[in-house]
Amino acid sequence: MVKCAVVGAKGYTGCELIKLLAQHPQVNLSFLADQDDTPQNACELIANLPQDKQLEIKKFDYDTVVKSCDVIFLALPHTKSIDFVSKLSKEEGKIIIDLSADFRLKDITMYKKWYNTKHTAPALVSEAVYGLPELYRKEVKKATIIANPGCYPTAIILGLSPLLKRGLINTNSVIIDAKTGVSGAGRNATQKNHFCEVYENFQSYKINAHQHMPEIEEIISAVAQKKIAITFVPHLLPILRGILASIYVEKNDSITADTIYGAYEEDFANEPFVRLMTRGQYPQTKNVEGTNYCDIGIYVDNASSRVIIISAIDN
Amino acid sequence: MVKCAVVGAKGYTGCELIKLLAQHPQVNLSFLADQDDTPQNACELIANLPQDKQLEIKKFDYDTVVKSCDVIFLALPHTKSIDFVSKLSKEEGKIIIDLSADFRLKDITMYKKWYNTKHTAPALVSEAVYGLPELYRKEVKKATIIANPGCYPTAIILGLSPLLKRGLINTNSVIIDAKTGVSGAGRNATQKNHFCEVYENFQSYKINAHQHMPEIEEIISAVAQKKIAITFVPHLLPILRGILASIYVEKNDSITADTIYGAYEEDFANEPFVRLMTRGQYPQTKNVEGTNYCDIGIYVDNASSRVIIISAIDN
Amino acid sequence: MVKCAVVGAKGYTGCELIKLLAQHPQVNLSFLADQDDTPQNACELIANLPQDKQLEIKKFDYDTVVKSCDVIFLALPHTKSIDFVSKLSKEEGKIIIDLSADFRLKDITMYKKWYNTKHTAPALVSEAVYGLPELYRKEVKKATIIANPGCYPTAIILGLSPLLKRGLINTNSVIIDAKTGVSGAGRNATQKNHFCEVYENFQSYKINAHQHMPEIEEIISAVAQKKIAITFVPHLLPILRGILASIYVEKNDSITADTIYGAYEEDFANEPFVRLMTRGQYPQTKNVEGTNYCDIGIYVDNASSRVIIISAIDN
Amino acid sequence: MVKCAVVGAKGYTGCELIKLLAQHPQVNLSFLADQDDTPQNACELIANLPQDKQLEIKKFDYDTVVKSCDVIFLALPHTKSIDFVSKLSKEEGKIIIDLSADFRLKDITMYKKWYNTKHTAPALVSEAVYGLPELYRKEVKKATIIANPGCYPTAIILGLSPLLKRGLINTNSVIIDAKTGVSGAGRNATQKNHFCEVYENFQSYKINAHQHMPEIEEIISAVAQKKIAITFVPHLLPILRGILASIYVEKNDSITADTIYGAYEEDFANEPFVRLMTRGQYPQTKNVEGTNYCDIGIYVDNASSRVIIISAIDN
């Protein structure tokens, strides 16, 4: 049994994480904490937790976390993880899994630009591993600081990586039209997630200005071994859960459809959490809801030399 | 042309009102004001206003309102209208239409109990007319202070009044199971109207504790000329607009179904905004969406001596 | 391992059942069949089935079912189970779990009235056990024909039984205002479940005419040991899953709130799938979504002598 | 007063049209007809029609249409208008407005390819005018056969035409990621528009295979005076009404953002039904719901030389 802590347990991310960990046969949820002072039973926030478990969310206490847990999940708002990870990284034998964006960007000038905060632990950024097992399985296994990928990046990077790592496409041609459900934006009530603003509505937001854009660009550039700039237009769907990204790229002329499909089959045939659709089939968000699958469908248009990748995950 | 002001123009209620008044051929929207300091073009808040109209929402200014307008609509939060109406009632020849609850309850002890504020203008409360034309048409025409009914009360009072004013039912038997869309609760973002809390969900709230309860009880008691206490259970629907109330009462044994139906036909046949469904037909919210119709369907069960009234309005 | 068959595997009910059984550690899904001729992999119909399992839905074949399975689930349309159960009941050692309404009503004149079909196996009706473990656990364990309760009846019977079996309420006073999500009506596309007819809409249907009404009346009459007639108004919610029933009854005057609450606590404290809410808390459908919990909240109004029971299940 | 007929009055398109025409001060709805035999009051199908109007939908009768009406709207399924228009075009002085696709494509080989029917009236196809006033106002005014544009084409052609007619973009670069509400697909109940398949779901469909694709390509090629092939990926939104198209094109390098914005301003400043958003603002479907506005927002990215056009209409 692995003794785990969740810090930031009251947000949507924290709650979702607790739900998953509570069902895991090898996880012992030893400490749930939140900056919010009031202790609260996790069952009040999270419907359908196994009731026999003692899952109280307590006030955060550093020493308790360190003493009682081996793996510490941080479900904190962006910029709030840095100090905590810095301190914790000095403890012996802890594994830190940070769900925020604080350790995702290797280029800390980009971090400053997009999150408006100077990064105070650049050495740890270098040490951190981007937690996408399909790309970095070996590194993840040995890592002590794991930067969990954002939702958009997971769907998009998995959708693009087979093409990029083989040099099959024009790296200047990447256009991503992405759509997300509402739960991705967290539990805080704002005008933007008011039922009356979202329901029976659809719109784009943050065109080429979403904070996940540098994360996507950095990872796919590493995969392609070439600097890539993307066009990225997120949209808000009137649904709870799910992301679907429609990705448009130009293939190199000589590349056949079979080569394209073959790349995906080779990379994902043995991946437990990527489901490659049969040709002519495309993902829908409800088929990935409540799962950690990434469903990917591919359309190759020889006339225009375009490849369209449709990639869906729960967000 | 009637020169009108709307005070409290930025809330959902104010915006909806402006939309209706802007289309009215005999209304001149002379002044739109909001406590919120920043002037704003109404078109930014309200999609699809006729763009040729000059509809700027300005900072509230009492003298401008008085000078430029004959009819003043108040779309203010509850308890905020009292002072304003007090002052304005001393001006010559103004008609005040208050959309808050501040002048709906004749019994100011009930006002204090439900709105937690001592009413400072009881004389004006007596003077105010409850603005439901189906019951008080004559009085409304002569009134200078009109207290506009709440959304639940409109649907429920219209549904019950034909039976109550004729003494056809047991006044102890009234049970109201009401359901409302989200827009009724206003524009402020709260946890309760967060998309993720409302969508794909349904629940009751404020059982026998909704602030519209005393308003309903007071008016139906007046109609029945007998003190009536109701059971009132509101529920929150995952829709934008619409209220549907299912009302359960016991008819007096000797009363036939024809007498029941006849009472509704007599009262509503000539009412332009009440649509009595044909027997066996019942309302649905989408048929009243965007209208000021109240649709009413009646079910009479002789075996149990129960009458079920289904009443729907846009909220 | 119990070897199970599902007959009628392609409907929403069949699919949902397969999903549940596929996760059950002691179930071996030995045969999935459907009247529809075309064999189909269950994974195509049911997202997120474990892919390693061989789950092909085949053409129905009686002999294969009998040979390969011990427990046979029937997820057939109403009236289609009778012949099948008749034949199967003659086989040695099989347990039949019928999800249709065909063996729920002991009174076969009621069956004829509500399902428009003469029942051809009345002896088996007497033998069948109503599969609600909270009421009939002992009988269910020994039964060979189990009639699985309908969705509305489950929520409503559980909500009423503690009061009825103790004689705490006026049995003439039962009013049920029930609301259901759309998935309850099955996979067939009709005008009634067209997205455009359901979304942003709410309406009642089948007032005192829903086919679950005699089932509820029969079971609660048995519980109360007294013939009970109810008022039952179902409504259609624009959500996928969930039923919430608001039940209104009159308590006998001398009965205190504590007696009422105590009855529920006594009956349900040890029931794994009934969650009694703390006083002042009421169920919401999303908290039971995807579970087999029944959440129950109780409101006691001494002034009116009414008890309001809010009961929610996934449908 | 113009005497109008609507043929195909019972579909969603016919009903929506009747609603609009019934409010038009210069329209006399002289004859409403449907192939479906049963006469029906239009008010039963269309909520909120003015009830004083006599609006019975009758069995179709050719002679009555011709005698009683000057303008005939055809809201028939695709391929059903051809014969009717052929016959009617021989009558003196009638104006035919066809809402189907039957007279939209000048290239009848494309018609055959996409609608699977040989066109039997090619001469009338040449005569028909594409009813988009922003492009063909003069021609529409003189036309006797008007082919009303499809929903996707309206949003997309208006979004692209200012750039194409001025040669500002690379015509090989057009990628259209379009999203539509459900009502566009008509009243017939199918598995695809079942509430449970659409709600809380999102997916692409008919990638590069939607029947509106040749219509878009033909008109934009005419506008650009150059053959254009597009990439077109439609998606299905879980909303009732609205289309939002995100269009990606490459501008010619020397073209500045001001030139781009200027082109839109020049073309649309005086168009009553196109609303150009201010820079940095983008459309949302709810702002065009229930209107015939097309809202257009433009994003120019000099770094990538891409222009993103977001265009929204009610569908």
Chains touching chain D, criterion 3+ CB pairs below 8 Å: A, B, C
Q: How far apart are CA D157 and CA B31, in angstroms?
A: 40
DSSP alpha helix (H) spans, chain C: 12-23, 42-45, 62-68, 82-88, 108-115, 122-127, 133-142, 151-165, 195-198, 213-224, 257-268
DSSP alpha helix (H) spans, chain A: 12-23, 42-45, 62-68, 81-88, 108-115, 122-127, 133-142, 151-165, 195-198, 213-224, 257-268
Q: What is the pLDDT of residue B273?
A: 95
Is residue A184's pLDDT more than 90? no
Distances A85 to A76, A100, A123, A208, A281 between C-alpha atoms, Å: 11, 11, 12, 30, 43
| CB-based contact C81:C15 (threshold 8 Å) | no
How much is the ipTM here?
0.94
pLDDT confidence band for C53 (50 / 70 / 90): low
Computed over every residue of chain A, the mean pLDDT equals 93
Which residues of B are part of the catalytic machinery?
151
A18-32, B268-282, D210-224: which range is least confident on average? A18-32
| CB-based contact D125:D108 (threshold 8 Å) | yes
DSSP secondary structure, C133-161, as one string? HHHHHHHHHH-SEEEPPPHHHHHHHHHHH
Nearest by CB to D299, from A207, A239, A246: name it.
A207
What sign results for the dihedral spanned by CA atoms D9, D13, D16, D18?
negative
Nearest by CB to C291, from A48, A291, A293: name it.
A48
C200 and chain D in contact, CB less than 8 A: yes
C193 and chain D in contact, CB less than 8 A: yes
Q: How far apart are CA C114 and CA C78, in angstroms?
A: 11
Helices D151-165 and D213-224, interaxial angle, to 10°? 20
The single residue of C4, C69, C151, C294 carrying the catalytic annotation is C151
Q: What is the mean pLDDT of residues B91-101?
A: 95
B208 and chain C in contact, CB less than 8 A: yes
pLDDT confidence band for C51 (50 / 70 / 90): low
pLDDT confidence band for B35 (50 / 70 / 90): confident
- Taking 3-state DSSP, the helix, strand and coil percentages for chain B, each rounded to the nearest 5, stand at 35, 25, 40
B172 and chain C in contact, CB less than 8 A: yes
Is residue A53's pLDDT more than 70? no
D293 with B200: Cβ contact below 8 A? no
Q: What is the pLDDT of residue A11?
A: 86
From the number of C-beta atoms within 10 Å of its C-beta (0-12, 13-18, 19+), residue C138 rates as: exposed
A24-33, A90-99, C121-130: which range is least confident on average? A24-33
Residues from chain B that touch A198, judged by Cβ atoms under 8 A, are 195
Q: What is the pLDDT of residue D205?
A: 97
Is residue B41's pLDDT more than 70? yes
Chains touching chain A, criterion 3+ CB pairs below 8 Å: B, C, D
Residues from chain A that touch D251, judged by Cβ atoms under 8 A, are none
Tokens found for residue D255: 């073209």
From the number of C-beta atoms within 10 Å of its C-beta (0-12, 13-18, 19+), residue C179 rates as: buried
Nearest by CB to D199, from C12, C187, C199: name it.
C199
Provide the Cα torsion C43, A248, A175, A147; round to 10°: 40
Q: What is the pLDDT of residue C44?
A: 78
Work out the percent of chain B whose per-residue pLDDT is above 70.
98
Q: Given strand A40-41, what is the order of strands in its sheet?
A: A40-41, A56-59, A27-34, A2-7, A71-74, A95-98, A145-147, A129-130
Q: How far apart are CA B265 and CA B277, in angstroms?
A: 10
Distances B130 to B107, B144, B186, D31 between C-alpha atoms, Å: 13, 11, 22, 44
B296 and chain C in contact, CB less than 8 A: no
A231 with D308: Cβ contact below 8 A? yes
Distances B236 to A185, B203, B281, C182, C184 between C-alpha atoms, Å: 23, 6, 24, 17, 20
Nearest by CB to B242, from C202, C231, C299: name it.
C202
C246 with B233: Cβ contact below 8 A? yes
Q: What is the mean pLDDT of residues D14-31?
A: 90
Nearest by CB to C193, from D182, D194, D238: name it.
D194
Q: How far apart are CA B12 and CA B181, in angstroms?
A: 13
Residues from chain A that touch D240, judged by Cβ atoms under 8 A, are 200
D203 and chain C in contact, CB less than 8 A: no
Distance from CA of D280 to the nearest CA of C (A): 31
Distance from CA of C309 to the nearest CA of A (A): 20
Distance of CA A130 to the CA centre of its chain: 10
pLDDT confidence band for B51 (50 / 70 / 90): low
Closest CA to B57 of B73, B76, B38: B38
Q: What is the mean pLDDT of residues D198-213?
A: 96
A189 with B187: Cβ contact below 8 A? no
- pLDDT tens string A61-101: 899 999 999 999 999 988 899 999 999 999 999 999 999 99
Is residue D188's pLDDT more than 90? no
Work out the percent of chain C whose per-residue pLDDT is above 90.
78
Distances B59 to B4, B31, B35, B40, B88 between C-alpha atoms, Å: 16, 10, 6, 9, 18
* Closest CA in chain B for residue D51: B272
Q: How far apart are CA D74 and CA D215, in angstroms?
A: 19
Which residues of D are part of the catalytic machinery?
151
Residues from chain C that touch D196, judged by Cβ atoms under 8 A, are 12, 182-183, 187, 193, 240
C47 with A200: Cβ contact below 8 A? no
Q: How far apart are CA D84 and CA D145, in angstroms?
A: 12
Computed over every residue of chain D, the mean pLDDT equals 93
DSSP alpha helix (H) spans, B101-212: 108-115, 122-127, 133-142, 151-165, 195-198
Q: What is the pLDDT of residue D69?
A: 94
D301 with A246: Cβ contact below 8 A? no
Parallel, antiparallel, or unpaired for β C231-236 and C203-204?
antiparallel
Is residue C52's pLDDT more than 70? no
Q: What phi, psi does C163 have (nearest 5°)?
A: -75, -40
A196, A198, A199, A285: best to mutate for the B interface, most B CBs within 10 A: A196
Closest CA to D237 of A310, A200, A232, A248: A200
Tell me the count of A-C CB pairs closer than 8 A.
Answer: 23
Q: Which residues 275-294 on chain B approach chain D with CB closer than 8 angstroms?
A: 286-291, 293
B47 with D200: Cβ contact below 8 A? no
A276-285, B4-13, C164-173: which range is least confident on average? B4-13
Chains touching chain C, criterion 3+ CB pairs below 8 Å: A, B, D
Is residue B266 classed as helix, strand or coil in its secondary structure?
helix
Q: What is the pLDDT of residue B218?
A: 98
Closest CA to A102 of A12, A38, A8, A192: A8
Helices D151-165 and D257-268, interaxial angle, to 10°? 120
Is residue A52's pLDDT more than 70? no
Closest CA to D32 of D51, D48, D55: D55
Distances D49 to B241, B310, D23, D288 between C-alpha atoms, Å: 19, 21, 9, 21
Distance from CA of B80 to the nearest CA of A (A): 23
Distance of CA C125 to the CA centre of its chain: 17
C151 assigned to active site: yes
A265-279, B6-20, C38-52: which range is least confident on average? C38-52
| CB-based contact D88:D31 (threshold 8 Å) | no
| CB-based contact C164:C223 (threshold 8 Å) | yes
Residues from chain B that touch A195, judged by Cβ atoms under 8 A, are 182, 193-195, 198-199, 238, 240
Q: What is the mean pLDDT of residues B52-63?
A: 82
Q: What phi, psi does A272 have (nearest 5°)?
A: -70, -25
From the number of C-beta atoms within 10 Å of its C-beta (0-12, 13-18, 19+), residue C50 rates as: exposed
Tell me the count of C-D CB pairs closer than 8 A.
Answer: 54
Residues from chain D that touch B286, judged by Cβ atoms under 8 A, are 47
Q: How far apart are CA C236 and CA C193, in angstroms?
A: 10
- pLDDT tens string C247-261: 999 999 899 999 999
Beta-carbon count within 10 A of A231 CB: 21
Residues from chain B that touch C172, judged by Cβ atoms under 8 A, are 304
Chains touching chain B, criterion 3+ CB pairs below 8 Å: A, C, D
Q: How far apart are CA B95 and CA C119, in angstroms?
A: 69
Which residues of A are part of the catalytic machinery?
151
Nearest by CB to B196, from A191, A200, A240: name it.
A240
Residue type, C277: M
Q: How far apart are CA A133 and CA A130, in angstroms?
A: 8
Residues from chain D that touch B48, judged by Cβ atoms under 8 A, are 287, 290-291, 293
A291 with C48: Cβ contact below 8 A? yes
Q: How far apart are CA A30 and CA C218, in angstroms?
A: 49
- pLDDT tens string A269-310: 999 999 999 999 999 999 999 899 999 999 999 999 999 999
Is residue A21 classed as helix, strand or coil in its secondary structure?
helix
Distances D74 to D8, D129, D279 between C-alpha atoms, Å: 6, 15, 39
Q: Which residues 212-241 on chain D approach chain C with CB closer than 8 angstroms?
A: 238-240
B194 with A195: Cβ contact below 8 A? yes
Q: What is the pLDDT of residue C111?
A: 96
Closest CA to D158 of D66, D47, D78, D272: D272
| CB-based contact B146:B96 (threshold 8 Å) | yes
C210 and chain B in contact, CB less than 8 A: no
C290 with A290: Cβ contact below 8 A? yes
Is residue B104 classed as helix, strand or coil in its secondary structure?
coil
pLDDT confidence band for B53 (50 / 70 / 90): low
A78 and chain D in contact, CB less than 8 A: no
Q: What is the pLDDT of residue D125?
A: 97
Nearest by CB to A237, from D177, D202, D283: name it.
D202
Residues 6+ apart with CB under 8 A from A283: A244, A277, A295, A296, A297, A310, A311, A312, D203
